[in-house]
């Protein structure tokens, strides 16, 4: 019997694949959007990059210790849906004409890289 015959494994694999794809798009698109659409200065680009890095240290590590005591499946689902909502707020804000660099920095800060992303980033 292989892992592919287990429904839970297939769901985990598919969900993690989608999550990693979204994370890699976020890492690529946020700086490009700031530079292209918002004409961010080099300093502003540095602030955006620092927010993404600081998020892992300021939010990811302390919250990781706290949620380690909780059931992993609901935590993973809530975290992925929250990150998806944050990322979806960017095109909505752009469509409404209210997208700012502050919005991008807040999204970068509130959607920290997952620990597996930090290792590969």
Q: What is the pLDDT of residues 69-104, one digit of tens each?
A: 888 888 888 888 888 899 999 999 999 999 999 999
* For the chain, domain boundaries: 3-120
d(CA 111, CA 53): 10
CB 115 within 8 A of CB 60: yes
Residues 6+ apart with CB under 8 A from 25: 87
Residues 6+ apart with CB under 8 A from 22: 83, 84, 87
CB 72 within 8 A of CB 96: no
pTM recorded for the entire structure: 0.79
Give percent of the chain with pLDDT exceeding 90: 35
């Amino acid at each position: 019997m292989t892992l592919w015959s287990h429904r839970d494994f297939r769901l985990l694999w598919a969900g993690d694949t989608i999550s990693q794809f979204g994370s890699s798009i976020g890492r690529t698109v946020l700086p490009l959007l700031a530079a292209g659409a918002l004409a961010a200065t080099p300093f502003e680009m540095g602030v955006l990059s620092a927010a993404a890095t600081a998020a892992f240290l300021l939010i990811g590590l302390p919250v990781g210790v706290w949620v380690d005591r909780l059931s992993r499946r609901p935590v993973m689902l809530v975290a992925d849906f929250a990150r998806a909502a944050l990322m979806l707020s960017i095109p909505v804000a752009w469509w409404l004409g209210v997208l700012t660099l502050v919005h991008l920095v807040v999204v970068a800060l509130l959607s920290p890289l997952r620990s597996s992303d930090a290792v590969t980033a």
